[in-house]
Structure 1
């Protein structure tokens, strides 16, 4: 599946994104119940009411988030960061969803700290300190997790930032506001202005597309649309439909192409223990893959070549990990094109010695061939509990999967 985020017509805000996800294929009532439970992590904030309703923008049917809250006027950025991190843990979101939420709120706070010349710890937020920032980020993470968007490709189209002026805590400024420019610049997401004379993209909306770390494209990819969602903006203007469009569909080429960053560095003075721990550390920080190759360097010395693949938006974070863990004095950065065979996550429950065990596995299909791979951690866990060896457990589970395909 491929998810296309199309903010060309009316830009993007956090509530538009959340509303579009519900309009497309989300359970609005369940989302509201889960989100409301997370307000407890922001002291002094209350969600008085939250629900989604069907509405229209310039004659186009869409869904709108209706939110009534009580909030202080400002709070330290560290509080909103902590509240969002606690919320995604409480909701038991997947690891990619948690990382998305953390990237998104950090993109917001980093933009504000850059503008004001403050550290992250000393940055104070005004409009963005509201509980609706938590609602937008946590809600979008929860909704995207529910449709397995983090296991598939995300395409982000150029963002309409509007025109005219916007008023906020620091006065009146022309659109786009500095925080929006900083966020989208750091994420290398293309923008364009419009004649609407109003703000069409908010900082939270910009941070969400940045946090998704998707592929930017000026046109739609080759997909067969299956689900379509329209999320309403707060204003109903007369000269265009103020909605965000989301489209999710199947990639009819059967393969998905995108670009990634490859970061490499050579090290010859660190121990094998440090190198072994480095791979898991890189993966925990969002790397797509990490490999280490042994080569012969200058003066005939053995050299370890560390190669890391990651999304473009994570280059700075991954580079920082490499420098801190290895002490390297530099890295090489390249862009690589790749294609990935579409895959699906699934689970199967198998009874072994009168006890039930659940095994996760990924199935994939390429042209006329198909196969699947079982999560080894689940195999190892079952082997330990049953006293069987891992190969026997794997054969047993594989047979059950093949019989039920």
Structure 2
């Protein structure tokens, strides 16, 4: 199992992340070509070898070609740019997840809705390139898991839209809630909102202890020159013990018994839970005391999302109590491919055990879309895909 590990001993920013992943092996020309699929002009990516305190790595800089004409965009404008591009679907999903985290943080700080957010961190071209670029790089590396150390936030003060504030900036503080952090190593902002959001959106596990062999190390070079090298270090790890293709991680299971809610409301609750990052959510009919029929709502999630999902349950259902369990998850190694058919492209998820393919499953939404567009049955679409696997 191949693992990407972020060693954020000196923090992380969007450009440091791009530099580190290019240094790790992402093809720079491929990244530039994929960014062109956004169909927006006014920026280009400059990549070079650089050093900080004798450490050599890759420096990636998004250069804005006309600063005066650069416009700030609302979240919906960014969503339109990403969704209308020809980027792979998983790249779009990851990029929009990062944008949404930043927008949600800024909305809370300013006490406005996410769609009303109108600010540099989401709208500027450099942030668009940094965030979409991060999603492109992650897709290129094809790792099975992403891990990270505690995030170094830095110290001192930072100038932002709210004036001069102590580090971390207000948006960063919101984004890293329930995430392991450190502070005070340097007297400047070590982690930006963009850098924090990239980690929170893509990392599967935060830990300062790694036991897997390191197969490659790379560095992304930052803009500062201080006593602590302004670099982002990343490792590729190889989990040789996971020969059976089973990945184990810790998760949180939330449960609530509900017997007094309009059944039509459950669909909305489940939708909100999935949008907020729940790994899974489901309903089970049960019988409670005095033979009352009820529904057990269950939610599976990462530990750092538990408080957010409990708030959704309490706010959008009639639940007045939630049970919480810490459990282990065992998951087969999975990969997603796109199969081109006579009807159009379909994403297929493949699962492996002990080095062998054990299951292939076409994405239902893709099959449904093609069936409707071509006036054929779902079975015909699925049969066509199976013949090509």
| Shorter-chain TM-score range | 0.7 to 0.9
Q: Quick check: 1:101 aligned with 2:72?
A: no
Quick check: 2:370–2:381 contact (8 Å CA) kept in 1? no
Quick check: 1:6–1:157 contact (8 Å CA) kept in 2? yes
Question: Which range moved further: 131-140 or 336-345?
Answer: 336-345
Q: How far did 1:13 drift? A: 0.3
Match of 2:48 among 45, 53, 65: 53
2:201 corresponds in structure 1 to 211
Q: Quick check: 1:188 aligned with 2:179?
A: yes
2:29 corresponds in structure 1 to 29
1:125 corresponds in structure 2 to 119
- Stretches of structure 1 that go unaligned for 5 or more consecutive residues are 41-45
2:350 corresponds in structure 1 to 362
Match of 2:360 among 373, 382, 389: 373
Q: Quick check: 1:153 aligned with 2:145?
A: yes
Question: TM-score, with normalisation over the residues of structure 2?
Answer: 0.80
Q: Quick check: 1:110 aligned with 2:104?
A: yes
Q: Secondary structure, in 3 states, of the residue corresponding to 2:284? A: strand
Q: How far did 1:216 drift? A: 1.0
Quick check: 2:253–2:327 contact (8 Å CA) kept in 1? yes
Distance 1:346 1:74 in 2: 37
Question: TM-score, with normalisation over the residues of structure 1?
Answer: 0.77
Q: Secondary structure, in 3 states, of the residue corresponding to 2:78? A: helix
Q: Secondary structure, in 3 states, of the residue corresponding to 2:132? A: helix
Distance 2:363 2:63 in 1: 46
Q: Indicate the RMSD between aligned Cα atoms, in angstroms.
A: 3.9
Q: How far did 1:56 drift? A: 2.2
Q: How far did 1:173 drift? A: 3.9
Q: Secondary structure, in 3 states, of the residue corresponding to 2:103? A: helix
Distance 1:131 1:350 in 2: 36
Q: Secondary structure, in 3 states, of the residue corresponding to 2:98? A: helix
Summarize the Cα distance change of 1:323–1:100 in structure 2 as closer, same or farther, 3 Å threshold.
farther
Q: Secondary structure, in 3 states, of the residue corresponding to 2:102? A: helix
- Stretches of structure 2 that go unaligned for 5 or more consecutive residues are none
